[in-house]
Structure 1
Amino acid sequence: MVRRLLEGVGVAPLTPMNDEGSCVDYGAIKAYVDFLSNKGVDGMFVLGTTGEGTSLSLKERKKTLELFIEANEGRMTVVSHCGAAVFEDIIELLVHSRNSGADAAAVVSPFFFNHKQEELFWFYDKIAEAVDDFPLYIYNIPSLTKNPVSVEVIARLHEKHKNIVGLKDSSGDFVNSTSVIQTLPSTFNTVVGCDAAFASVLIAGAKGCVSGPGAVFPEFFVKVRDAVREGNIGKAFEDQKSLTRLTMALGNGANIPYMKHVLERRGLEMGGVKTPLKNLTDAEIELLDNNLVAVMHKIGIDF
């Protein structure tokens, strides 16, 4: 059942759109995938938060994933985010992801309603049963869903369903991430969405990261990964300092329109953002650019 799972530098690619953000620019996907692969990225978490996945129609999500997989040509691990507000849509997206050749899929915890932990267990239990031949990640991002998935529930789910193979933990809580790593078997694929903790969680036993800013500037993520793998912990933490400065200048992954703007400056077509997100004004861009350029100069890189 298991194909490839996320490890090392995983990124959450942005989804190219037209300038108004009204539709996906499918023709711009290949150049972006080539860019990420050439920079040394190990895996892509397609159509997640940074990819505006929940803002797209099912038809758009399916075609976008298909083109990311086609452009990838097997170079990087591909995990498809299939979270949605409607349960039946989640299952439809999961079946499509499996049939399209994604290595695995992820589902964010339910949002809008507040849920008890037993309801979250039931939610993932039913999903795992519906696609029991396909590797699944639990996606924990309580800052957006208001529904954190507890370590106990994750452990119960993994024990019951061997196709629940990992967790994307974007809680920003280092204790929570390490608790999952220490509680679950070493084969469980924990990846962390907190850029500032990347070096620390790798050393603590995480398999890798999934980063939005990493999909804009993968270079320092690659440096941290390589230093940890080589056992050069001092260098890893020095590179981590630069990585953290850079990701904070990008809005710590929360400013999607600005990350698209920076990718445009790096020579890629990204366009606008999907409603209800809003494109930045020229004044906002200038202010952010001034800060980013100053940080880039300090750490010794250019666009």
Structure 2
Amino acid sequence: MSFQPKGIIPPIITPFTEDDAIHEPVLRRLVNHFIDEGVHGLFPMGTTGEFYAVTDDEYKRVLEITVEETCGRVPVYAGANHITTRGAVRLAHIAESAGVNAISVLTPMFIGQTQEELYHYFKTIAESTPLPIILYNNKPKTNVTIAPETAARLGEIPNIVGVKDSTGDFTNTEEYLRLTRGNPNFSVLLGRDTLIHAGLCYGAAGAIASCANVAPRLTADIYDKYVAGDIKGSLEAQFKLAPLRIACNMGTFPAVIKEGLMMQGFPVGKCLDPIAELTDGEKAKLRMILQEMDLLSKEGTL
């Protein structure tokens, strides 16, 4: 397996119309905007994309639109997340038919699994598709974690090519890196946007960064400057991005990301119910943060 996930990959939001339909023109506009801003891949139907809220038909259509509009300019990664093995396999096959380059698979939700159960979960999915697979560990959301030893063991399966670590536990990230450093076909990606620069210093390959929806160029700078040898510039970009990631603690995720895009002039709509919009006070605070980050003009758009 020669596919290598790397760089800054926004888990793109799913835009909805007022009647909760997929807003295709806005999704196409976002795809081109992100690529123009220098991201290194696109990731529809992740947590930021409200994967849990769509039907299989909506899921497939979002992937098809993204693949079509991207037109091979950057890799397209698709979330294939389900509570059961057969459900994740079904989504993997849908993603495969839509023409994506790789899939990301979250640990099952709600139920608690042993590490051996997790191993067989991911192994079965990997055996069901030729697509490259990125393991997705988001313990704060699922209360399930992929232990570093399990990730290293799964990395021996040819089409399991990496792991996204959204735990926010940098020791966990470091252990992923340490235990897989002898595997040239396995990459570690950060899923906590405040830790991208630190991860690169340890040998991470990049990040799947939700804040790259609102700050694609700034987030890409963390990676591009680091790779170019401008370590100080990379760190400064990381510091500049941090207030936006911290602001995501307002409201229910991904409400801040969607509201930020709305403020920038992208009519992405609100998150699907039951997620509520930010309060007026929270919106005012977010607007100030975006202005201070040079992500919003005084008039309110880019």
Instruction: Specify every segment of 5 or more residues in structure 2 that has no aligned partner in the other structure, as ranges.
Output: 297-301
Query: Is the 2:137–2:146 Cα contact (8 Å) retained in structure 1?
Result: yes
Query: Is the 2:2–2:185 Cα contact (8 Å) retained in structure 1?
Result: no
> Cα distance 1:88–1:187, how it changes in 2: closer, same or farther (>3 A)?
closer
Amino acid of the structure 2 residue aligned with 1:138: L
Amino acid of the structure 1 residue aligned with 2:14: T
Question: 1:186, 1:287 → 2: CA distance?
Answer: 48
What is the correspondence of 1:268-283 to structure 2 with a 5 Å cutoff?
A: 268-280=266-278
Match of 1:83 in 2: 81
State which of 201, 206, 211 in structure 1 corresponds to 2:209. 211
> Cα distance 1:13–1:143, how it changes in 2: closer, same or farther (>3 A)?
same
Q: Deviations over 1:250-285 (max 9, x none)?
A: 4389532232122122121201222332334xxx1x
TM-score by length of 2: 0.91
Match of 1:182 in 2: 178
Question: 1:19, 1:143 → 2: CA distance?
Answer: 30
Q: State yes or no: 1:69 paired with 2:67.
A: yes
Q: Deviations over 1:111-169 (max 9, x none)?
A: 111111111111112111222x221111100111111011111111122x111111011
State which of 138, 154, 157 in structure 2 corresponds to 1:157. 154
Question: 1:44, 1:299 → 2: CA distance?
Answer: 23
> Cα distance 1:301–1:266, how it changes in 2: closer, same or farther (>3 A)?
closer
Question: 2:38, 2:227 → 1: CA distance?
Answer: 14
Question: 1:233, 1:98 → 2: CA distance?
Answer: 38
Query: Is the 1:212–1:253 Cα contact (8 Å) retained in structure 2?
Result: no
Match of 2:259 in 1: 261
Task: Give 1:287 shift.
Answer: 1.6
Q: Deviations over 1:65-107 (max 9, x none)?
A: 1111111111121111011123322112111212322111011
Q: How many residues end up aligned between the 2 structures?
A: 295
Question: 1:208, 1:148 → 2: CA distance?
Answer: 20
TM-score by length of 1: 0.91
**RMSD over equivalenced CA pairs, Å:** 1.9
What is the correspondence of 1:16-31 to structure 2 with a 5 Å cutoff?
A: 16-20=15-19, 22-31=20-29
State which of 103, 111, 114 in structure 2 corresponds to 1:113. 111
Query: Is the 1:6–1:42 Cα contact (8 Å) retained in structure 2?
Result: no
Instruction: Specify every segment of 5 or more residues in structure 1 that has no aligned partner in the other structure, as ranges.
Output: none
Query: Is the 2:250–2:256 Cα contact (8 Å) retained in structure 1?
Result: no
State which of 50, 55, 58 in structure 2 corresponds to 1:57. 55
Higher relative contact order, chain-length normalized (CA < 8 Å, sep 6+): 1
State which of 166, 187, 190 in structure 1 corresponds to 2:162. 166
> Cα distance 1:86–1:275, how it changes in 2: closer, same or farther (>3 A)?
farther
| 3-state secondary structure, aligned to 1:77 | coil
| 3-state secondary structure, aligned to 1:43 | coil
- Give the percent of matched residue pairs that are identical in Structure 1 and Structure 2: 27
Amino acid of the structure 2 residue aligned with 1:53: F
Query: Is the 1:112–1:145 Cα contact (8 Å) retained in structure 2?
Result: yes
Question: 2:147, 2:38 → 1: CA distance?
Answer: 33
